[in-house]
Structure 1
Amino acid sequence: MAGWLFCCWTPLWIVLFLLSNVSADPSSSSKYTLHQTRANFEDAMQRCSPGVLTTIATQQEVDDILKLIIDSVPLQENFTFWVGLKKAKNQCVVLSQPLKGFRWTENSSEESQVSRWAQQPAETCTGVLCAALMGKFDGSTVSWGLIPVTCKSSYHFICKLKNRPTDVCQHPSIPETRFLTLDSDNSSLVQVECWSTVRLNLLCSGRPAMWRTLDGLPVNFSTACLKCSNGFQKDAFGSCVDVDECANPDGSPCRRSCVNTEGSYRCVCSDADGEQHDEDSPPCQDQVTVEDSGALSGILIPVLIAVAALVVLVVVVAVTVKCCLMRRSKKRAIKAAEKMAMKSKQEKDSFQTANEKTAT
Structure 2
Amino acid sequence: MATSARLLPLLPLLPLLLLLGQPQAGAQAPGEAVVCAGNACYTAHWGKLSAAEAQLHCSKNGGNLATVRSEEEAQHIQHALTQLLESEAILAARIGKFWIGLQREKGKCLDPSLPLKGFSWLGGGEDTSYTNWNKEVRSSCISKRCVSLLLQLSQPSHASHLSKWSEGPCGSPNSPGSSIEGFVCKFSFKGMCQPLALGGPGRVDYTTPFKATSSSLEAVPFGSAATVVCGAGEHGQEDYFVCREKAPDVFDWGSSGPLCISTQYGCSFNNGGCQQDCFEGGEGSFRCGCRPGFRLLDDLVTCTSRNPCSSSPCRGSATCMPASQGENYTCRCPLGYQLDSSQRDCVDLDECQDSPCPQECVNAPGSFHCECWVGYEPSESGCQDVDECATGHTPCAQHCTNTDGSFYCSCEKGYVLAGEDGTQCQDVDECAETENGLCDSLCLNTQGSFRCGCLPGWELGP
Report the TM-score when normalising by structure 2: 0.28
Q: Which has the higher helix share?
A: 1
Q: Which protein shows a greater Rg?
A: 1
Report the TM-score when normalising by structure 1: 0.36
